[in-house]
Amino acid sequence: MTAKISEIFKSIQGEGIYQSLPQVFVRFFGCNLSCSYCDTELFRYEEIGLENLIQQIESYHDYHSVSFTGGEPLLQPEFLKAALKLLKARRTKTYLETNGVLADALKDVIDYCDIVAMDFKLPSSTQEKELWSEHREFLKVACAKEVFVKAVIGKNTEVGDIVKSIEIIKEVNPMIRFILQPENPFEEQLKEKLSLFLGICRKQNINAKIVSQLHKQLGIK
């Protein structure tokens, strides 16, 4: 069994509620979405076997967890499941970064994940079609484990998309944390908008927080 892997490396987590913690990143090749703000250009990959992957992960030391990221890891669910199972057997904490639309694939691997970092793809931010129903079904599955939601906030992000995100979170589990992530490098221009959105979340008793991309600010991978 092999998977298309673009890179494996150790760095700090730059986003979300685990920001600044050291992780080993396994970046899967390929994505099923085309977000306008995407900053992960993947042109190359290597077909890597399961044993080789585990060996490379275990060559690193002193990290919080292994982040399966992309692209979109759930596009290669059989390999992902096998890797997660092996790491779970080794008592290694796993962290799945996902665009949050492939609920059926998540159902097959959720038992072996520890943390799910799920994107809400706001249509006004991505300039793509709405994915609300897909996000709702995905979040229902992800709630079996620790999960938080993050959404990229850009110049075009609309209040209505924040309101819809809040509705879904409250419907599934109002305790889910909601991360508002300013699009890099526009944090300064977005301060007023971020403050407005944060206020809306808090009025609805949503546990929301503004978290910038730390790795971008530090100039590291």
Query: Which pTM value belongs to this model?
Result: 0.95
What local confidence, expressed as pLDDT, does residue 216 receive? 76
Domain annotation for the chain: domains and CATH numbers: 2-218 (3.20.20.70)
- Supply the pLDDT for residue 70: 92
Contact 155/191 with Cβ under 8 angstroms? no
Q: Report the alpha-carbon distance of residue 101 to residue 10 in Å, rounded.
A: 27
Identify the pLDDT of residue 23.
98
Structural contact between residues 107 and 80, judged by C-beta atoms closer than 8 angstroms: no
CA-to-CA dists, residue 153 to 54, 111, 128, 196, 197, angstroms: 35, 31, 14, 12, 9
- Give the pLDDT confidence score for residue 218 in this predicted structure: 79
pLDDT, mean of each 10-residue run, the chain (221 residues): 96 96 96 83 90 97 97 97 97 98 98 98 94 98 98 96 98 98 86 96 97 83 73
pLDDT at residue 111, rounded to an integer: 97
